[in-house]
Structure 1
Amino acid sequence: MTQDLNLLSNDAFRARWRGWLEQNYPAEWRIPIIRRLAGDEERRWHRMTYEAGWRAPAWPKQYGGLGLSLEKQLILNEEMERHRCARVLDSGGVLLAPVLMKYGTDAQRSRYLPAILRGEDLWCQGYSEPNAGSDLASLRTSAVRDGEAFLVNGQKIWTTLAGCADRIFVLVRTNKEVKKQAGISFLLADMDTPGLTVRPILNLADEDELCEVFFENVRIPAENLVGALDQGWTVAKALLGDERISNGAPTLPRQAFEVLEQLIETRGLAEDAGVTDRAASLFCDVHDLAALHSQVADAAIRGEVDNAVLGMMKVLATEAFQDISEEILNVIDEDAGLQSPTIGAESPLDLRKIYMIARPSTIYAGASEVQRNIVSNALMGKS
C-alpha cells in the first residue's frame, strides 16, 4: 500500500479498512473481551498488517509507519470493535516505540523499531514491583554501572505476557541519594539474558498472562539506556499517558453491555422491571463514557490532553466494565456457578471469564484510588 491514507475521506478510509478486516481477519479470533492475541498469534497479526500496509498507524512515516491522523486512528479502533476483533496488547508498537522515537538514540531506533514493525520482536513492560505498583516511584530494582554494562538486581511483578516476550523495557533505580522520582533510569533487555527468569502467575481465569520477572546480576549493556541517566521517570510518565488513553476507551464496557442485552433477551427478562432498570442505568454509564472519550479524542486531535481527564476516563471505563460484568452474573443467576456459562450453546463467550477479566481492570495502569487523587489534586490546583 503506497497511497497516503490521510488523503482519503473518512468514509472511504473506513470502507477500505472494514473491507480488509472482513476478507482477512481470522474467524477464530472473533471472540471479543475474553480473547487476547499473544505469542505466535500476536506475531501473525503484526505480520499480516505489516505486509498489507496497515501496521503502525500512529508511527511517523520516517520510521515505517502510516503517519495517520488521530481521527483515522480512531476509525481503525472503531472498526476493530465493530468486527469483534480480539484484544492485542502490542507493548512494543504502542508503548515502547514512541519512547524510542522521542528519547532513544539513532542506534536504538535502527536496531529495535524495524523488528517491532515486522512483528519479529514482542516486548513486555517491567514497571510494577511487589512494593511499588500504584506508587511506582518507590521501585527498588537496582542497576549499578559496571564497566560498559549495568548490573541489575531485583524483581518485577504483574508483567503482562512476559512469558512470550523477546525483550523487556524496565525501570530501575540508578541513584539512591535523590528523591524517589529522580534516580530512576529506563533500560532495554533481552529476555534470554543470563540471570533473568520469568515465573508465570495463574489468575482467576486460569490464565498465566501475568508474570513475575526476576533479575539476578543481569548484565544489560550501557548502550541500552534510553534517555539520560537518572531521568527515566520522565520517560515513564510519557509512556503511562499513552497507556491510560487506551485503558479509558469504552470498548470493553460497550462489548460487555452488548452481551448483557443478549442475555436479557434470551432469558426472557425484558419485562422484568428490576433487570431493565439496572440495565438502563448501566447503558447511561456506557453512553456517558463514550461521550467523554469522544471529547478527549477531539481534544487530543487539537493537542490538548489533560492528564487528570485521562485518569478520570480510566476510572469510569474500568468501573463500568466491572459493574456490567457483575450484572451479567446476576442475570444468569445460578448458572454463574457453572464452569463456563455462555449465552447459548453456540456462543464461544465464557460469561464468568468476562467477570474475571473485569476484576483487575481498576488496578492495572494506575489504581482507581490513585487516579481519583490525581483528579482531586488537579481540581484543587495541586501539582
Structure 2
Amino acid sequence: MQDLSLDELAALDEDGFRRHVRGWIEANYPLEVRHPTRRLHWHENRPWYLALSRKGWLTPGWPREYGGMGLDAARQLVMIEEMERFGAARVNDMGLVMLGPMLIRHASEEQKRRFLPRILSGEDIWCQGYSEPNAGSDLAALRLDAADEGDHWVLNGQKTWITLANDANWIFVLARTNKGGRKQEGISFLLLPMDSPGVTVRPIVNLDLHDEFCEVFFDNVRVPKDMVVGEVDKGWNYAKALLGFERIAIGSPKLSSSGLARLRALAAAMGKDKEPAFLDSYARFSMELADLKALYESYVERLKRGEPIGPDVSILKIVQTELFQRITDAMLEIAGGNAGLLEPMEEGLHPAGSFLLARPSTIFGGSSEILRNILARSVLDLPA
C-alpha cells in the first residue's frame, strides 16, 4: 500500500484515515500473536513494537517535535479501534504512554534528548516503580529509601506489582529523599537501569498463571544525581502528573471496545445473538461505550493543548474499568460451560481470559474506591 507522510495522513478525511490505518495494520501485523490471551512479553511483542517504530506510529499523541504523530483525539481513537478490531497485542508501553509524556512536560532538555529517542527506537523498555508492600493505594506512604551520598543517591527497599519488570532495562521510581514534613513531601522521581548492581527482580505468577507482575528489590543501588527528574523532594508533583497520564491510558476505551466486539462474536458463536435479553444488554453496553469514547476524547484534547490534567481524570478510569468488567461478566453468562476453559474456544474468543484480565483493572492505577474518594474530596469538595 502507498506509504503516506504524516502531513498526507493528516490531510485524509476520517474514513480515508481509517481505511489507511486498517490496511497498514492488516499488512504488517505479525499474525502469530493476534488476539493474545494474556499480556505478551517483550520478546513476543518486539516485532510489532519495532514495526510501529519504523512507521512512526508508536506515539500518536506525542508532539511531532519529539517523534510523535501529533494526532487529535478523534484520530487517536480511530487507531485504537482499528488495532483492537484486528486483535493487535498491547506492547510494552510504560515509556510510551506514561514516562514519555511526563518527560516531555517536566524533564531537563538533556534528559529528553537522552531518553525519548531510545523509547521510540525500542532500545529502552521501561517499568514503573511506584507501589510497595505497604504503599499501594496510599502511595505517599512509600518507604524506598534514597540516602544522599555526594554525587549519588543510594537506594534500599522494595517495590511490588511492577508490570513486566522482567522485560524492562530501565525503571522510574519514587523514592524518599527526605523523611521530614508531610508524607507527600521528601519524595523524588528517579531513573535507573535495571542492570544496576543491587537490583533484583522476582516474578509473581498471577491468577491466570502468567508472570506479568514482579517484585523489585534495591540493595545499596547507586543512582547518579542527574537521574532525578525535576526538583529533589518534589517528586510527588511529578508522580501525580504521571498518574494522570496513566489514568488516561487505562481509561482508553480500547479494552471495553474490544470486549464488546468479542461479546457479540461470542453470542453469535453460542447462537444467542438474536435473543432479546442479549440485544438489550448489548445496546446498553454500546451506549455506555459511546459515552466513554466522548469522555476519553475530551481528556486527550486537554492533554494535547498542554492543559493540566486534574483529579477529575479519575472518572475516566472508573468508567472504563467498570464497564469492561460488566462486559466480561456478560461473557461468562453467555459462554455457559465454556466459561471455565483455560484456553480460547477459538481465535479471539476466550471468555475466562477476558474475565481474568478485567478483574484487576479496577485496582491498578488507583483502585476505584480510592479514586471515588479523590473525586469526592478534590472535585465535589465533600468532607473527608
User: TM-score w.r.t. structure 2 length?
Assistant: 0.90
* Distance in 1, Cα, partners of 2:98 & 2:323: 25
Displacement after TM superposition at 1:85 (Å): 1.6
Distance 1:283 1:224, change over 3 A: same
Displacement after TM superposition at 1:15 (Å): 3.4
1:15 paired to 2:13:
no
Choose the corresponding residue for 2:34, options 22, 30, 33.
30
Question: 2:49 is matched by which residue type in structure 1?
Answer: H
- How far does the alpha carbon of each residue in 1:143-189 deviate from its partner, in whole angstroms, 9 at most, with x for none? 01112111101111110010010010000011110111111000011
Distance 1:209 1:272, change over 3 A: same
* Distance in 2, Cα, partners of 1:83 & 1:283: 19
* Distance in 1, Cα, partners of 2:10 & 2:283: 41
Q: How does 1:182-331 map to 2 (within 5 A)?
A: 182-270=185-273, 272-297=275-300, 307-331=310-334
- How far does the alpha carbon of each residue in 1:60-111 deviate from its partner, in whole angstroms, 9 at most, with x for none? 3333333334443333223222333222241112211222223222332232
Distance 1:111 1:331, change over 3 A: same
Displacement after TM superposition at 1:273 (Å): 5.0
The residue aligned with 1:65 is 68
* Distance in 1, Cα, partners of 2:78 & 2:280: 32
* Distance in 1, Cα, partners of 2:24 & 2:269: 32
* Distance in 1, Cα, partners of 2:64 & 2:300: 22
Q: Secondary structure at the match of 1:162?
A: coil
Q: Secondary structure at the match of 2:99?
A: helix
* Distance in 1, Cα, partners of 2:214 & 2:269: 38
Answer whether contact 1:240 1:365 (CA < 8 A) is retained.
Answer: yes
Q: Which range is displaced more, 330-339 or 164-173?
A: 330-339
Report % sequence identity: 46
Displacement after TM superposition at 1:52 (Å): 2.3
Question: 2:153 is matched by which residue type in structure 1?
Answer: F
* Distance in 1, Cα, partners of 2:335 & 2:302: 40
1:380 paired to 2:380:
yes
* Distance in 2, Cα, partners of 1:360 & 1:63: 33
Q: Secondary structure at the match of 1:375?
A: helix
Answer whether contact 2:131 2:161 (CA < 8 A) is retained.
Answer: yes
- How far does the alpha carbon of each residue in 1:4-27 deviate from its partner, in whole angstroms, 9 at most, with x for none? 357513434333333221211122
Q: Which range is displaced more, 45-54 or 147-156?
A: 45-54
- How far does the alpha carbon of each residue in 1:359-383 deviate from its partner, in whole angstroms, 9 at most, with x for none? 0000001100011112222443369
Name stretches of at least 5 consecutive residues in structure 1 with no aligned partner. Answer: none
Displacement after TM superposition at 1:196 (Å): 0.6
- How far does the alpha carbon of each residue in 1:265-298 deviate from its partner, in whole angstroms, 9 at most, with x for none? 3223346555555444444433433343345445
Q: Secondary structure at the match of 2:370?
A: helix
* Distance in 1, Cα, partners of 2:280 & 2:74: 35
Distance 1:60 1:380, change over 3 A: closer
Answer whether contact 1:158 1:211 (CA < 8 A) is retained.
Answer: yes
* Distance in 2, Cα, partners of 1:326 & 1:257: 11
- How far does the alpha carbon of each residue in 1:99-140 deviate from its partner, in whole angstroms, 9 at most, with x for none? 222322233223222211111110000001111111111111
Question: 1:362 is matched by which residue type in structure 2?
Answer: T
Q: Secondary structure at the match of 1:206?
A: coil
- How far does the alpha carbon of each residue in 1:307-343 deviate from its partner, in whole angstroms, 9 at most, with x for none? 344211211111111112122112222332333352x
Name stretches of at least 5 consecutive residues in structure 2 with no aligned partner. Answer: none
Distance 1:92 1:77, change over 3 A: same
Distance 1:323 1:2, change over 3 A: closer
Q: How does 1:88-237 map to 2 (within 5 A)?
A: 88-237=91-240
Q: Which range is displaced more, 229-238 or 111-120?
A: 111-120
Count how many residue pairs are aligned between Structure 1 and Structure 2: 379
The residue aligned with 1:369 is 369
Question: 1:359 is matched by which residue type in structure 2?
Answer: R
* Distance in 2, Cα, partners of 1:297 & 1:118: 24
